[in-house]
């Protein structure tokens, strides 16, 4: 019987340790110089309702939202709203911080969960899966 109690106690300790490790991860903001310049978008690709790739020049980014964001390209492009702290520093950049959003016409904005720099190979691989794509020639950029 003692073996059962030891196994049960071990299981409880293991579960408690795993629960502590399941805490939400802190945001990983990009350094300001590496942020996505929303005024210089050359190309964007909607991969799914939570995932977008964006290119501005040689820089490529993976943008994820906190929830499904259907029609994130509604209105002929992808529109971003920087956080107040980003605007204070200079605006026109999305770095993966709190309160950055994708703004959609006639729909509520979608909170950005993360912005990550990716390499050309990853960008091209995701682009092949895109539901919709566009270029920087379309109206995109910041919404105030």
State pLDDT tens for residues 63-96: 999 999 998 987 778 889 988 776 667 778 999 9
Nearest by Cα to 35 from 111, 87, 93:
93
91-121 confidence digits (pLDDT tens): 789 999 899 999 988 889 999 999 999 999 9
Q: Using alpha carbons only, how large is the chain's radius of gyration in Å?
A: 20
Question: Quick one: pLDDT at residue 137?
Answer: 60
Give 3-state DSSP helix, strand, coil % of the chain, rounded to 5.
30, 35, 40
Total residue count of the chain as it appears in this document: 144
Nearest by Cα to 56 from 32, 34, 40, 35:
40
Contact between residue 30 and residue 59 where contact means Cβ atoms under 8 Å apart: no
With residue 81 as reference, give the H or E element that holds it: strand 79-81
Contact between residue 43 and residue 55 where contact means Cβ atoms under 8 Å apart: yes
**Percentage above 90 pLDDT, the chain:** 49
Q: Does residue 58 carry a pLDDT above 50? A: yes
pTM for the full predicted model? 0.76
Q: Does residue 42 carry a pLDDT above 80? A: yes
The pLDDT of 47-58, averaged and rounded, is 95
């Amino acid at each position: 019987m003692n073996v059962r109690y030891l196994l049960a106690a071990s299981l409880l300790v293991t579960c408690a340790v795993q629960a502590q490790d399941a805490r939400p991860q802190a945001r990983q903001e990009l350094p300001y110089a590496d942020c996505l310049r929303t005024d210089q978008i050359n190309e964007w690709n909607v991969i799914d309702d939570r995932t977008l790739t964006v290119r501005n020049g040689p820089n490529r980014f993976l943008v994820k939202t906190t929830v499904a964001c259907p029609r994130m390209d509604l209105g002929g492009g992808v529109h971003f709203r920087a956080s107040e702290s980003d605007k204070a520093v200079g605006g026109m950049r999305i770095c993966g911080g709190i309160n950055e959003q994708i703004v959609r016409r006639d729909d509520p904005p979608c909170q950005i969960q993360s912005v990550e720099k990716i390499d050309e190979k990853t960008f091209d691989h995701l682009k092949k899966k895109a539901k919709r794509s566009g270029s920087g020639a379309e109206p995109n950029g910041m919404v105030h």
